[in-house]
Amino acid sequence: MVTAGIPHPASDSDVATTFKIVHDHAERIYLWDYERCRTQLVTLYNKAMGSQWNSVADLDWDTDVDPERLVDHDGPMMQVVRLASDEPGSPIASWGDREFTALGVEMFKASISQFMHGEQGAMLTAAKIVETVPWIDAKYYAATQTMDEARHTEVFAKYLDLKVGEAYPMSPYLEEQITALLEDSRWDIAYLGMQIAIESLALAAFGDMLRRTTEPLLRKLLRYVMSDEARHVAFGVLTLKEFYAGLSDPELKERQEFLLDNTLRNRSRSTTPEVWERLGVNLHALMPHLAAAAGTMMTSPYAGFQRGFFAKLVPNVGKLGLLDANRGYLRERWGEAGLLQFEHEADTLSDYDSYDEVAKDRARS
Ligand SMILES: [Fe+2]
Ligand SMILES: [Fe+2]
C-alpha cells in the first residue's frame, strides 16, 4: 500500500529496517530577493560547480580490493585489543592471527558503514538548508552541497557493496545526533550541527583512514570526498559568522550549550558493540580487559582521531564568536576540558582552496 508516495510498511519492524520518518519543525523560506550580495558565498558556489567530480568516471571501480590485506595490525585500536587478549581471564585469550584479521575487516566495514549513513544524513541536512536558509546565495551553495553528499553516500555504499561486504546499521549515537538536526526548528542549528560539528568529525575520520590505507581506490575516493567536505565547512563558517553577529546573548547561549552537549558526547564514543556481536564476543565481558589494556597504553585508541577533530572544530567555533560570547561561557568550559590547546590551529575557512585534490589531479592529466 502506498500513501502520499511513502511505501506503507506492513509492521513496525519494517519501518525500522527499511526507512525512518523524521518530522522537521523548521519553516521553508521562498525568497523574492535574488540579488547576489554575499561575494564569498558566490565564490564558494562557483568553486563548487567547477570541482564536481564524477563517481563513475573518475574512480577506477575495477581496482582489486582484498579487505584482509588492508587490516592495519599496528593501529592503536588493534594494539589495545592485542593487549586485552593477554589479560588473565580475557574472553579473547584464544585469539590468533585469523581472529585479529577478522576483527580488522569488521572494524573497517563498520567505519565505512558509518561514513555511508552519515553522508546520507549530510545529504538530508544540506537539502533542509536549501529549504530553510533565508539567503539566496546560501540556498544556491547548499544545493551544490546536496549533490556532493549524494555522491559521497553513493560511493561509500558502492565501495561497501562491491569491495567490502555487508554494511552495519547506523550507530544509535550518530542517528540520534543527525535526527535532532533534521527536527530542529532553528535553521542555523542544522548548519552548526552538520557543517561545523559533524563535518569536522568527518574530516578527522576520513583523514585518519587516508593516513592508514594504501588501497588506491579508497585513497582517491577519500581525497575527493575530503576536498568537497573542506568547502562544506567553509560554507558553515561563512554563513554562521554573519548570522551569529546579529543574535542576542540568550540566543548565542543556546548555541554554546548545543556545542557543549555535542562535544561532550563525542568524547565518550566507544567501541562499536555490533562488531563484537558479529564476531561472537561478549563485549560486556571484554570491556574491563579493553579498559585495562587502554590504561596500560596510557592513551585512548581514539586519541589521534580526537585531536584531529578538535583541531578543526575549536578554531572554527572561535571564528563564529561562540567561544567568547556571554563573557567566555564556552571558552571557560572547553578550557576545563583541555580543548583550548587547539584554539590557534589553522581554521578550515580557506582549506578548500589548498585542499582541492580534484583540481590537482585535473591539472596533472
Ligand atoms: Fe559528505
Ligand atoms: Fe559534507
For 195-244, how does the pLDDT look when each residue is reduced to its tens digit (9 = 90+)? 999 998 888 889 989 988 999 999 999 999 999 998 999 999 999 999 99
**C-alpha 229 to ligand 1 mean position (Å):** 6
Which stretches of 18-155 are assigned E, i.e. beta strand? Answer: none
pLDDT above 70 for 347: no
> Which pLDDT score is estimated for 114?
93
Tell me the average pLDDT across 299-312: 77
Q: Where are the alpha helices (DSSP H) in 192-272?
A: 199-212, 216-244, 249-267
> Which pLDDT score is estimated for 167?
93
Give the whole-angstrom CA distance, residue 263 versus residue 279. 30
H or E, element range at 6: strand 6-7
**C-alpha 91 to ligand 1 mean position (Å):** 38
**Nearest ligand to the CA atom of 229:** 2
Residue 3 binned pLDDT confidence (cut-offs 50, 70, 90): very low
Residue 296 binned pLDDT confidence (cut-offs 50, 70, 90): confident
* Domains assigned to the chain: 2-364 (1.10.620.20)
C-alpha cell at 337: 576540558
- CA 269 vs CA 134, 144, 301: distances in Å: 35, 31, 11
**C-alpha 121 to ligand 1 mean position (Å):** 9
| Residues 356/227, Cβ–Cβ less than 8 Å | yes
**C-alpha 257 to ligand 2 mean position (Å):** 23
**Nearest ligand to the CA atom of 152:** 1
**C-alpha 148 to ligand 1 mean position (Å):** 6
User: How buried is 309 (Cβ within 10 angstroms: 0-12 exposed, 13-18 middle, 19+ buried)?
Assistant: buried
Residue 7 one-letter amino acid: P
DSSP of 279-309: TT--HHHHHHHHHHHHHHTTS-TTHHHHHHH
**C-alpha 82 to ligand 1 mean position (Å):** 33
**Nearest ligand to the CA atom of 233:** 2
